[in-house]
């Protein structure tokens, strides 16, 4: 009798896991269909500083995954995100505020399945905090103005910095070189000359 009960419980548990996993997979597939042009970039304030929209606006403009990653410190799936394998030249900005964060000139293949960078484009737009959620201390990377969760930084990166900024694609919006001027980031064109 005990064998039957454990077998039935095992089948129920397996089925529940499969249903949950298929739901997450569906969410990820929807994320892959999202295009960069659909991301909503908030305007800068009059003082030239980047601003964080209200939670109501964020929930309306961000996908469920983008909101979970940036506002609830979530992590997207590796190798199944928008920018892990992007080789186009341009910059990456905070999807919430538009703060310039990283450049393709500092991006490299860390073989982790997430976009990885050796350094921030604008160090003043990045802040780190201790993250103890996994039972040990990691350095969480956040944007300065919007306070968006971006990912983590590790000391196992390549030269010249030895750092690996492991960033969630869902926290970023990519702006190709051809659109830098038009999007208000013309000051970064010299990086690609």
Please provide the DSSP assignment of 16-30 as one string: HHHHHHHHHHHHHHH
Active site residue 166: yes
C-alpha closest to that of 37 among 185, 174, 170: 174
Q: What are phi and psi of 36, to 5 degrees?
A: -60, -35
62's CB contacts (< 8 A; 6+ apart) are: 40, 70, 71, 95, 96
Please provide the DSSP assignment of 115-138 as one string: -EESS-SSGGGEEEEEE-TTSS-E
How distant is the alpha carbon of residue 107 from its chain centre?
14
- For the chain, the maximum distance between any two Cα atoms, rounded to a whole number of angstroms, is 74
Among the listed residues 166, 167, 172, 175, the single catalytic one is: 166
Catalytic residues: 166
């Amino acid at each position: 009798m005990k064998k039957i009960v454990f077998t039935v419980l095992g089948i129920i548990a397996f089925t529940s896991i499969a249903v949950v996993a298929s739901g997450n997979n569906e969410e990820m597939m929807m994320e892959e269909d999202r295009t960069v042009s659909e991301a909503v970039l908030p305007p800068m304030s009059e003082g030239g500083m980047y601003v964080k929209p209200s939670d109501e606006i964020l929930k309306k403009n961000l996908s469920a995954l983008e909101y979970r990653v940036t506002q609830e410190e979530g992590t997207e799936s590796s190798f199944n995100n928008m920018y892990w394998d992007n080789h186009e030249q341009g910059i990456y900005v905070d999807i919430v505020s538009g703060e310039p964060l990283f450049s393709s000139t500092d991006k490299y293949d860390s073989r982790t399945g997430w976009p990885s960078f050796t350094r921030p484009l604008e160090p003043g737009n990045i802040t780190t905090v201790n993250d103890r959620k996994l039972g040990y201390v990691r350095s969480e990377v956040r944007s300065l103005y919007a306070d968006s969760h971006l990912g983590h930084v590790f000391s196992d990166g390549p030269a010249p910095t030895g750092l690996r900024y492991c960033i969630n694609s869902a926290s970023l919006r990519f702006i190709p070189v051809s659109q830098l001027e038009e999007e208000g980031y013309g000051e970064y064109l010299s990086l690609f000359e």
